[in-house]
Amino acid sequence: MLRVVLDVNVFVSALLRRDSTPARVLRAWEDGVYELIASPGLLDELERVLRRPHIARNIAPHTVGDLVTAIRQNAVLEDDQPSERYVPGDPDDDYLVSLALTAGVDAIVSGDAALLALDLERPRTLTPRAFLTAIEQIE
Measured CA distances, 58 to 16, 21, 66 (Å) = 7, 18, 15
**How does pLDDT run across 91-110, given as a tens digit for each residue?**
788 999 999 999 999 999 99
Which CATH number is 3-138's, of 3.50.50.60, 3.30.2390.10, 3.40.50.1010, 3.40.50.800? 3.40.50.1010
**How does pLDDT run across 66-93, given as a tens digit for each residue?**
999 999 999 999 999 877 778 877 778 8
Residue type, 28: A
35-38: strand order across its sheet: 76-77, 35-38, 3-6, 107-109, 124-126
Range list of β-strands (E), 1-139: 3-6, 35-38, 76-77, 107-109, 124-126
- The residue count for the chain: 139
Q: Which of 115, 106, 134 minimizes the C-alpha distance to 8? A: 115
pTM to 2 decimal places: 0.95
* DSSP secondary structure letters along 72-86: HHHSEE---------
